[in-house]
Amino acid sequence: MGLFPALSLGLNSLISDPISIVSSPTQLTDRLLRHEFTVLIPAQNEETSIGSKVLIAASYADRVLVLDKGSTDRTMEVAALGGARVVPASGGEEALLNILYKASLDSELVVLIYPECMQDIDLLSHVLEPLRQGFDLSVGSWPCRISCEQETIMLYNGKNTFKEKIGFLAITADSLQKISSGREHLSLKSLLSAAKTEGLKVNYLSFDVDPIFRKLESTRIGVVVPAYNEELLIGETLSGIPEYVDRIYVIDDGSTDRTGEIVKKFGDSRVVYLRHQVNKGVGAGIIDGYKLALKDEMDVVAVMAGDNQMDPVQLPRLIFPIIEGRADYTKGNRLLTDDFMTGMSRWRSFGNLLLSFITKIGSGYWQVMDPQNGYTAISRQALEVIDLDSVYPYYGYCNDLLIKLNAFGMRVMDVVMPARYGNEKSKIRYSKFIRKVAPMIFRGFLWRLRVKYTVLDFHPLVLFYFLGMLALPMGVLLGLWGFFQMLLQHPLPSYYPLLGFLVLGTGLQMLLFGMLFDMQVEKKRNERVGFAR
């Protein structure tokens, strides 16, 4: 127990001296060889989240090692900027534990965290608590119901055994060196078996004690999986859906391959299968899934396409804002990540950016980007408010849904996440898609103005939009008519050019005023909701 007074003193000094926390990799090598506490974090392509994980870990430990499992993005660069030392770690579990052992040679305490299993690294204090109480080893999964690929092993805890997946491992350096002595190949299973043989005190922590993820357990969560000819990826998609999800609604939109057969044989009692005899469109499939979820009284309903493009690790980030009452509808946003452009063609990226701008105007959600991102979650309250049967049935359903949500005052939140592209192929053809969806968005925009600003309430911005939509095209027509008259060498009144510019400028100004007032209405509503909560 002599370790922990020094450990507590070290942690206090680290917290009081933030400069020592965010030190560069070169500064870390200049430290004393003996470290009080080392945290190891294996990572692969976690550019958007590794920085916060490193900083949180560094607030507990005096050394953070990020183990590179083959990242192809800027994960390791961001980790180094956060003050971590980057270490190559190819070779699987044995390589990770070998680095853990080497770290114990110059540390009092070492902790290995699998971030895909332990989402909230700020729970590190709970991992350390058993060691403060005299245990030699603290091990468990927290919360490993999120998809994790670590080896399933038997965990020892007094008279009880548990069969779970490893999420973290905290051990004193002396204990690790004791049980590793004479063993060439070290695995989690052999490490725990050796700990039991050596009579070490082992404590297992279950994810059930995590108050944050307990909210997932107490919330009825459904996932809608629209699928059309996804025989190659539908099984992988269903396998990745976390265990805390209560129902999985697979909507087979008239597939002509083995998609339905694979789903029926999947063997998960949570799966509800519905087949369309003819292809109705992805929007129609999702709406049918929503209806089934409402019938089953799901509290939150997410959408994960059958092509395995949506990372299940990101699902809690979509669900929690709804559970915590901060949003009614959440959606992924890939536009703020570097790999968005890497994963998409230039034409597809341009089409998505153009649709983002059009959808901002049509929906009134001016802060929302990447509208075609189908990775979403919605509250039961929002589903009960909107008319599901009126939602556009094809790929533009997500744009139409945003328009309807705004009309009824629902709160929408973007969740930034990396793009994920694998073997799937997008079925969207943007040249045809924009021609079909843009008119639908314009009709939805007019419907929203009528319902939101004339039926449910009134705001003069409707007049600005109306005048702008009359004056702008009129100014354009006047300009074209004058241009043709000049080509025909017909004389024009001297005031005609000024009249054309006046009408055109007035129309543009009215539209901009309408947009400005629309933005202010949304901003004030968000501020009012935030203050009320």
Q: What is the pLDDT of residue 214?
A: 64
Rounded to whole angstroms, the Cα distance separating 363 from 442 reads 10
Question: Would you say residue 278 has pLDDT above 80?
Answer: yes
Of 220, 218, 287, the closest CA to residue 251 belongs to 287
Question: Would you say residue 39 has pLDDT above 50?
Answer: yes
Q: pLDDT per residue over 386-417, tens digit each?
A: 999 999 988 889 999 999 999 998 999 988 88
Q: What is the pLDDT of residue 485?
A: 83
Rounded to whole angstroms, the Cα distance separating 418 from 71 reads 13
Which CATH code, of 3.30.720.200, 3.90.550.10, 3.30.230.30, 3.40.50.970, is assigned to 3-209? Answer: 3.90.550.10
Phi, psi of 307 (to 5 degrees): -95, 10
Q: What is the pLDDT of residue 302?
A: 96
Q: What is the pLDDT of residue 368?
A: 86
Mean pLDDT value of segment 359-370: 89
The Cβ-side half-sphere exposure at 512, using a 13 Å CA radius, reads 6
> Cα angle at 511 between 508 and 513, to 5 degrees?
110
Q: Domain residues of the chain, as ranges?
A: 3-209, 214-455, 461-532
Structure tokens at 307: 């092509």
Q: pLDDT per residue over 322-333, tens digit each?
A: 998 889 999 988
Contact 269, 246 (CB under 8 A): no
- DSSP H helical ranges for 451-495: 461-487
Q: What is the pLDDT of residue 180?
A: 77
- DSSP H helical ranges for 172-279: 173-180, 188-197, 214-217, 234-240, 259-264
Of 493, 494, 499, 453, the closest CA to residue 479 belongs to 499
Q: Who wins on pLDDT, 177 or 432?
A: 177
Q: pLDDT per residue over 94-107, tens digit each?
A: 778 888 888 888 88
Residue 284: helix, strand or coil by DSSP?
Answer: helix
Rounded to whole angstroms, the Cα distance separating 150 from 293 reads 32
Angle, helix 188-197 to helix 173-180, in steps of 10 degrees: 100
**In CATH, what number does 214-455 get?**
3.90.550.10
Q: How far is CA 93 from CA 112, 163, 190, 246, in A?
A: 11, 18, 12, 31
% pLDDT > 70, the chain: 77
Question: Would you say residue 533 has pLDDT above 60?
Answer: no
Q: What is the pLDDT of residue 324?
A: 84
Same CATH fold, 214-455 and 3-209? yes
% pLDDT > 90, the chain: 30
pLDDT band at 127 (very low <50, low <70, confident <90, very high): confident
Structure tokens at 267: 């063997």
Phi, psi of 412 (to 5 degrees): -115, 135
Q: What is the pLDDT of residue 267?
A: 86
Q: pLDDT per residue over 204-221, tens digit each?
A: 765 444 555 667 777 899
Question: Would you say residue 426 has pLDDT above 60?
Answer: no
